[in-house]
Protein backbone atom coordinates (compact mmCIF):
# COMPACT_ATOMS: atom_id res chain seq x y z
CA UNK A 1 0.00 0.00 0.00
CA UNK A 2 1.63 3.27 -1.08
CA UNK A 3 1.94 5.79 1.68
CA UNK A 4 -0.69 8.58 1.69
CA UNK A 5 2.05 11.22 1.52
CA UNK A 6 3.12 9.90 -1.86
CA UNK A 7 -0.45 9.83 -3.14
CA UNK A 8 -0.91 13.44 -2.10
CA UNK A 9 2.40 14.33 -3.76
CA UNK A 10 1.29 12.65 -6.99
CA UNK A 11 -2.04 14.49 -6.98
CA UNK A 12 -0.47 17.89 -6.39
CA UNK A 13 2.29 17.30 -8.90
CA UNK A 14 -0.29 16.22 -11.50
CA UNK A 15 -2.30 19.39 -10.96
CA UNK A 16 0.83 21.51 -11.27
CA UNK A 17 2.04 19.75 -14.41
CA UNK A 18 -1.40 20.10 -16.03
CA UNK A 19 -1.88 23.79 -15.18
CA UNK A 20 0.07 25.35 -18.09
CA UNK A 21 -1.52 22.91 -20.52
CA UNK A 22 -5.03 23.71 -19.28
CA UNK A 23 -4.51 27.48 -19.38
CA UNK A 24 -2.93 27.61 -22.83
CA UNK A 25 -5.28 24.93 -24.16
CA UNK A 26 -8.41 26.80 -23.05
CA UNK A 27 -7.19 29.94 -24.79
CA UNK A 28 -6.57 28.05 -28.01
CA UNK A 29 -9.91 26.26 -27.67
CA UNK A 30 -11.79 29.57 -27.59
CA UNK A 31 -9.72 30.87 -30.50
CA UNK A 32 -10.46 27.78 -32.57
CA UNK A 33 -14.14 27.81 -31.64
CA UNK A 34 -14.30 31.23 -33.31
CA UNK A 35 -12.87 29.65 -36.45
CA UNK A 36 -9.24 30.77 -36.14
CA UNK A 37 -6.33 28.34 -35.94
CA UNK A 38 -3.39 29.90 -34.12
CA UNK A 39 -0.30 27.68 -34.09
CA UNK A 40 1.68 30.32 -32.21
CA UNK A 41 0.90 29.07 -28.67
CA UNK A 42 4.48 28.04 -27.95
CA UNK A 43 5.75 31.47 -28.99
CA UNK A 44 3.10 33.34 -27.01
CA UNK A 45 3.81 31.21 -23.94
CA UNK A 46 7.51 31.98 -24.19
CA UNK A 47 6.91 35.71 -24.49
CA UNK A 48 4.47 35.50 -21.57
CA UNK A 49 7.05 33.60 -19.51
CA UNK A 50 9.77 36.14 -20.27
CA UNK A 51 7.67 39.29 -19.82
CA UNK A 52 5.94 37.94 -16.71
CA UNK A 53 9.29 37.15 -15.18
CA UNK A 54 10.78 40.53 -16.08
CA UNK A 55 7.79 42.41 -14.69
CA UNK A 56 8.00 40.40 -11.47
CA UNK A 57 11.71 41.14 -11.08
CA UNK A 58 11.15 44.86 -11.73
CA UNK A 59 8.04 45.35 -9.58
CA UNK A 60 8.61 42.57 -7.06
CA UNK A 61 4.95 41.64 -7.42
CA UNK A 62 4.02 38.36 -9.14
CA UNK A 63 0.43 39.52 -9.66
CA UNK A 64 1.68 42.38 -11.82
CA UNK A 65 3.95 39.87 -13.54
CA UNK A 66 0.96 37.73 -14.48
CA UNK A 67 -0.96 40.75 -15.78
CA UNK A 68 2.05 41.79 -17.84
CA UNK A 69 2.36 38.25 -19.19
CA UNK A 70 -1.29 38.26 -20.25
CA UNK A 71 -0.89 41.62 -21.94
CA UNK A 72 2.24 40.42 -23.72
CA UNK A 73 0.51 37.24 -24.90
CA UNK A 74 -2.47 39.30 -26.08
CA UNK A 75 -0.16 41.70 -27.91
CA UNK A 76 1.49 38.78 -29.73
CA UNK A 77 -1.98 37.48 -30.59
CA UNK A 78 -2.96 40.93 -31.83
CA UNK A 79 -0.10 40.82 -34.33
CA UNK A 80 -1.36 37.42 -35.45
CA UNK A 81 -4.93 38.73 -35.63
CA UNK A 82 -3.93 41.75 -37.68
CA UNK A 83 -2.09 39.58 -40.20
CA UNK A 84 -4.71 36.86 -40.52
CA UNK A 85 -7.99 38.69 -39.85
CA UNK A 86 -7.33 42.09 -41.36
CA UNK A 87 -4.74 41.24 -44.01
CA UNK A 88 -6.14 37.71 -44.60
CA UNK A 89 -2.76 35.99 -44.38
CA UNK A 90 -2.68 32.20 -44.19
CA UNK A 91 -3.36 31.18 -40.57
CA UNK A 92 -1.14 28.11 -40.49
CA UNK A 93 1.90 29.89 -41.88
CA UNK A 94 1.35 32.97 -39.73
CA UNK A 95 0.92 30.87 -36.59
CA UNK A 96 4.15 28.98 -37.22
CA UNK A 97 5.91 32.27 -37.85
CA UNK A 98 4.48 33.58 -34.57
CA UNK A 99 6.05 30.65 -32.70
CA UNK A 100 9.44 31.21 -34.30
CA UNK A 101 9.14 34.95 -33.65
CA UNK A 102 8.17 34.29 -30.02
CA UNK A 103 11.16 32.02 -29.42
CA UNK A 104 13.51 34.72 -30.70
CA UNK A 105 11.75 37.67 -29.12
CA UNK A 106 11.54 36.07 -25.68
CA UNK A 107 15.24 35.20 -25.81
CA UNK A 108 16.08 38.77 -26.76
CA UNK A 109 13.86 40.35 -24.12
CA UNK A 110 14.99 38.04 -21.36
CA UNK A 111 18.71 38.07 -22.04
CA UNK A 112 19.56 40.27 -19.05
CA UNK A 113 17.17 38.48 -16.73
CA UNK A 114 18.60 34.98 -16.93
CA UNK A 115 20.60 35.25 -13.75
CA UNK A 116 17.84 36.65 -11.56
CA UNK A 117 16.64 33.95 -9.23
CA UNK A 118 13.21 34.90 -7.85
CA UNK A 119 11.06 33.50 -5.11
CA UNK A 120 8.47 31.06 -6.41
CA UNK A 121 4.81 31.97 -6.23
CA UNK A 122 4.05 29.35 -3.57
CA UNK A 123 6.85 30.66 -1.34
CA UNK A 124 5.74 34.27 -1.89
CA UNK A 125 2.31 33.33 -0.56
CA UNK A 126 3.61 31.18 2.29
CA UNK A 127 7.14 32.29 3.17
CA UNK A 128 7.81 29.39 5.55
CA UNK A 129 7.17 26.75 2.90
CA UNK A 130 10.60 25.16 3.16
CA UNK A 131 10.18 24.53 6.90
CA UNK A 132 6.65 23.09 6.71
CA UNK A 133 5.94 19.39 7.09
CA UNK A 134 5.86 17.47 3.77
CA UNK A 135 2.05 17.16 3.67
CA UNK A 136 1.50 20.86 4.39
CA UNK A 137 4.21 21.68 1.85
CA UNK A 138 2.26 19.80 -0.81
CA UNK A 139 -0.95 21.68 -0.04
CA UNK A 140 0.84 25.02 -0.09
CA UNK A 141 2.13 24.24 -3.59
CA UNK A 142 -1.43 24.57 -4.91
CA UNK A 143 -1.01 28.23 -5.82
CA UNK A 144 -3.67 30.62 -7.19
CA UNK A 145 -2.83 29.82 -10.82
CA UNK A 146 -3.42 26.13 -10.22
CA UNK A 147 -6.81 27.06 -8.75
CA UNK A 148 -7.56 29.17 -11.82
CA UNK A 149 -6.74 26.16 -13.99
CA UNK A 150 -9.17 24.05 -11.96
CA UNK A 151 -12.06 26.53 -12.24
CA UNK A 152 -11.48 27.95 -15.72
CA UNK A 153 -12.56 24.90 -17.77
CA UNK A 154 -16.01 25.07 -16.15
CA UNK A 155 -16.28 28.80 -16.79
CA UNK A 156 -15.28 28.42 -20.42
CA UNK A 157 -17.69 25.51 -20.79
CA UNK A 158 -20.47 27.61 -19.32
CA UNK A 159 -19.58 30.57 -21.54
CA UNK A 160 -19.54 28.54 -24.74
CA UNK A 161 -22.77 26.66 -24.05
CA UNK A 162 -24.89 29.05 -21.99
CA UNK A 163 -23.79 32.65 -22.46
CA UNK A 164 -25.01 34.67 -25.40
CA UNK A 165 -21.50 35.87 -26.27
CA UNK A 166 -20.21 32.31 -26.35
CA UNK A 167 -23.00 31.12 -28.61
CA UNK A 168 -22.34 33.96 -31.02
CA UNK A 169 -18.64 33.13 -30.94
CA UNK A 170 -19.39 29.53 -31.87
CA UNK A 171 -21.74 30.64 -34.64
CA UNK A 172 -18.89 32.68 -36.08
CA UNK A 173 -16.68 29.62 -35.95
CA UNK A 174 -19.27 27.41 -37.63
CA UNK A 175 -20.14 29.67 -40.52
CA UNK A 176 -18.78 33.17 -40.73
CA UNK A 177 -20.98 33.97 -43.71
CA UNK A 178 -24.18 33.15 -41.89
CA UNK A 179 -23.04 34.93 -38.73
CA UNK A 180 -22.17 37.97 -40.81
CA UNK A 181 -25.52 37.88 -42.59
CA UNK A 182 -27.19 37.82 -39.19
CA UNK A 183 -25.40 41.04 -38.40
CA UNK A 184 -22.64 39.80 -36.08
CA UNK A 185 -19.27 41.58 -36.30
CA UNK A 186 -17.30 38.48 -37.37
CA UNK A 187 -13.88 40.12 -37.48
CA UNK A 188 -14.29 41.87 -34.14
CA UNK A 189 -15.44 38.67 -32.42
CA UNK A 190 -12.48 36.79 -33.88
CA UNK A 191 -10.08 39.50 -32.68
CA UNK A 192 -11.54 39.06 -29.20
CA UNK A 193 -11.14 35.27 -29.33
CA UNK A 194 -7.59 35.44 -30.69
CA UNK A 195 -6.53 37.92 -27.99
CA UNK A 196 -8.17 35.83 -25.28
CA UNK A 197 -6.11 32.91 -26.57
CA UNK A 198 -2.95 35.01 -26.43
CA UNK A 199 -3.66 36.23 -22.91
CA UNK A 200 -4.23 32.67 -21.68
CA UNK A 201 -1.03 31.48 -23.37
CA UNK A 202 0.82 34.36 -21.74
CA UNK A 203 -0.64 33.42 -18.36
CA UNK A 204 0.37 29.79 -18.91
CA UNK A 205 3.89 30.94 -19.72
CA UNK A 206 4.04 33.05 -16.57
CA UNK A 207 2.96 30.03 -14.53
CA UNK A 208 6.11 28.30 -15.74
CA UNK A 209 8.46 31.20 -15.09
CA UNK A 210 6.89 32.41 -11.81
CA UNK A 211 5.56 29.32 -10.09
CA UNK A 212 6.55 25.98 -11.60
CA UNK A 213 10.24 26.70 -12.16
CA UNK A 214 10.73 30.26 -10.88
CA UNK A 215 13.34 31.45 -13.37
CA UNK A 216 13.71 32.61 -16.93
CA UNK A 217 15.77 30.61 -19.35
CA UNK A 218 15.49 30.51 -23.10
CA UNK A 219 13.06 28.00 -24.53
CA UNK A 220 11.86 26.99 -21.08
CA UNK A 221 8.36 26.15 -22.32
CA UNK A 222 9.99 23.12 -23.99
CA UNK A 223 7.14 22.11 -26.31
CA UNK A 224 4.19 22.48 -23.90
CA UNK A 225 2.51 24.85 -26.37
CA UNK A 226 2.37 22.08 -28.94
CA UNK A 227 0.97 19.62 -26.43
CA UNK A 228 -1.74 22.14 -25.50
CA UNK A 229 -2.56 22.50 -29.20
CA UNK A 230 -2.84 18.74 -29.64
CA UNK A 231 -5.06 18.47 -26.56
CA UNK A 232 -7.52 20.97 -28.08
CA UNK A 233 -8.00 18.82 -31.17
CA UNK A 234 -8.08 15.52 -29.29
CA UNK A 235 -10.60 16.87 -26.78
CA UNK A 236 -12.90 17.60 -29.71
CA UNK A 237 -12.99 21.28 -28.70
CA UNK A 238 -14.61 20.61 -25.31
CA UNK A 239 -13.15 22.51 -22.34
CA UNK A 240 -13.75 19.87 -19.68
CA UNK A 241 -12.39 17.08 -21.88
CA UNK A 242 -9.38 19.29 -22.50
CA UNK A 243 -8.78 19.66 -18.78
CA UNK A 244 -9.12 15.90 -18.28
CA UNK A 245 -6.68 15.27 -21.12
CA UNK A 246 -4.19 17.69 -19.57
CA UNK A 247 -4.58 16.06 -16.16
CA UNK A 248 -4.05 12.64 -17.68
CA UNK A 249 -0.94 13.83 -19.49
CA UNK A 250 0.37 15.40 -16.29
CA UNK A 251 -0.48 12.33 -14.25
CA UNK A 252 1.30 9.88 -16.51
CA UNK A 253 4.38 12.15 -16.66
CA UNK A 254 4.50 12.28 -12.86
CA UNK A 255 3.63 8.61 -12.47
CA UNK A 256 6.63 7.79 -14.65
CA UNK A 257 8.95 9.50 -12.18
CA UNK A 258 7.20 7.86 -9.23
CA UNK A 259 7.49 4.42 -10.77
CA UNK A 260 11.20 4.97 -11.40
CA UNK A 261 11.84 6.37 -7.95
CA UNK A 262 10.05 3.37 -6.42
CA UNK A 263 12.45 1.16 -8.37
CA UNK A 264 9.85 -0.74 -10.37
CA UNK A 265 11.49 -2.60 -13.20
CA UNK A 266 10.31 -0.98 -16.47
CA UNK A 267 12.63 0.38 -19.18
CA UNK A 268 12.89 4.20 -18.93
CA UNK A 269 12.48 4.61 -22.70
CA UNK A 270 9.07 2.96 -22.55
CA UNK A 271 8.05 5.04 -19.53
CA UNK A 272 9.04 8.24 -21.31
CA UNK A 273 6.63 7.52 -24.15
CA UNK A 274 3.74 6.69 -21.82
CA UNK A 275 2.31 10.22 -21.36
CA UNK A 276 1.91 10.51 -25.11
CA UNK A 277 0.59 6.99 -25.61
CA UNK A 278 -1.89 7.23 -22.75
CA UNK A 279 -3.18 10.65 -23.81
CA UNK A 280 -3.59 9.55 -27.41
CA UNK A 281 -5.29 6.31 -26.41
CA UNK A 282 -7.82 7.99 -24.12
CA UNK A 283 -8.56 10.86 -26.43
CA UNK A 284 -8.96 8.56 -29.40
CA UNK A 285 -11.52 6.67 -27.35
CA UNK A 286 -13.29 9.93 -26.52
CA UNK A 287 -13.40 10.97 -30.15
CA UNK A 288 -14.04 7.56 -31.73
CA UNK A 289 -17.46 8.67 -32.91
CA UNK A 290 -16.37 10.50 -36.07
CA UNK A 291 -19.73 12.09 -36.78
CA UNK A 292 -19.83 13.73 -33.38
CA UNK A 293 -16.22 14.82 -33.71
CA UNK A 294 -17.01 16.44 -37.02
CA UNK A 295 -20.01 18.15 -35.48
CA UNK A 296 -17.82 19.51 -32.72
CA UNK A 297 -15.08 20.79 -34.99
CA UNK A 298 -15.71 24.43 -35.87
CA UNK A 299 -16.67 24.20 -39.55
CA UNK A 300 -14.98 27.48 -40.49
CA UNK A 301 -11.70 26.61 -38.69
CA UNK A 302 -8.70 28.07 -40.46
CA UNK A 303 -10.70 29.84 -43.17
CA UNK A 304 -10.21 33.54 -43.72
CA UNK A 305 -13.22 35.81 -43.82
CA UNK A 306 -13.80 38.97 -45.76
CA UNK A 307 -17.25 40.58 -45.94
CA UNK A 308 -17.03 40.80 -49.74
CA UNK A 309 -16.63 37.05 -50.33
Name the residue among 176, 194, 167 with its Cα closest to residue 75: 194
Query: Site residues for other proteins, window 83-122 (CB under 8 A)?
Result: 107, 114-115, 117, 120, 122
254 binds other proteins (CB under 8 A): yes
Find the binder of other proteins among 87, 163, 213, 289 (CB under 8 A).
Answer: 213
Looking at the Cβ atoms of 120 and 166, the one nearer to other proteins is: 120
Judged by beta carbon, residue 104 or residue 302, the one nearer other proteins is 104
Q: How far is the CB of 131 from other proteins (least distance, A)?
A: 6
- Residue 120's contacts (CB-CB under 8 Å, 6 or more residues apart) are 210, 211, 214
Could you tell me the smallest distance in angstroms from the CB atom of residue 51 to other proteins?
A: 17
DSSP structural state of residue 215: S
In terms of DSSP H, where are the helices of the chain?
Answer: 4-33, 41-59, 62-81, 91-110, 121-125, 134-140, 144-162, 164-174, 176-181, 186-207, 224-234, 239-262, 268-286, 290-296
Nearer to other proteins, 88 or 222 (CB): 222
CB of 222 to other proteins, least distance (A): 4
Among 75, 129, 278, 282, binds other proteins (CB under 8 A): 129
Among 33, 170, 190, 224, binds other proteins (CB under 8 A): 224
Q: Sketch the per residue contact string, 37 through 76, with other proteins: x for CB under 8 A, - otherwise.
A: ----------------------------------------
Taking CB under 8 A as the criterion, the residue among 4, 127, 131, 285 binding other proteins is 131
Determine if 267 is a binding residue for other proteins (CB under 8 A): yes
CA distance linking residue 233 with residue 241, whole number of Å: 10
Catalogue the long-range contacts made by 80-85 (C-beta closer than 8 Å, 24 or more residues apart).
80/38, 80/40, 80/194, 80/198, 81/36, 81/190, 81/191, 81/194, 81/195, 84/36, 84/194, 84/304, 85/36, 85/187, 85/190, 85/191, 85/194, 85/304, 85/305
User: Which spans of this chain sit near other proteins (rule: CB under 8 A)?
Assistant: 5-6, 9-10, 13, 16-17, 20, 107, 114-115, 117, 120, 122-123, 129-131, 134, 137-138, 208, 212-215, 217-220, 222-224, 253-254, 256-258, 260-263, 265-269, 271-272
Amino acid sequence: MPDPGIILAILVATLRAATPLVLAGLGELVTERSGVLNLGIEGMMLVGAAVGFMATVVTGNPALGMIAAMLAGAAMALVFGFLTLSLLANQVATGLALTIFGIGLSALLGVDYQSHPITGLATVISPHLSEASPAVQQLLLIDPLVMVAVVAPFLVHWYLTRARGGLVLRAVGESHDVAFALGYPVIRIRYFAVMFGGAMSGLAGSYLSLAYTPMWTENMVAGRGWIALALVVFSTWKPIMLALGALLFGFVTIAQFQVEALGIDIPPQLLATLPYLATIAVLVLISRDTTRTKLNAPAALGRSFHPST
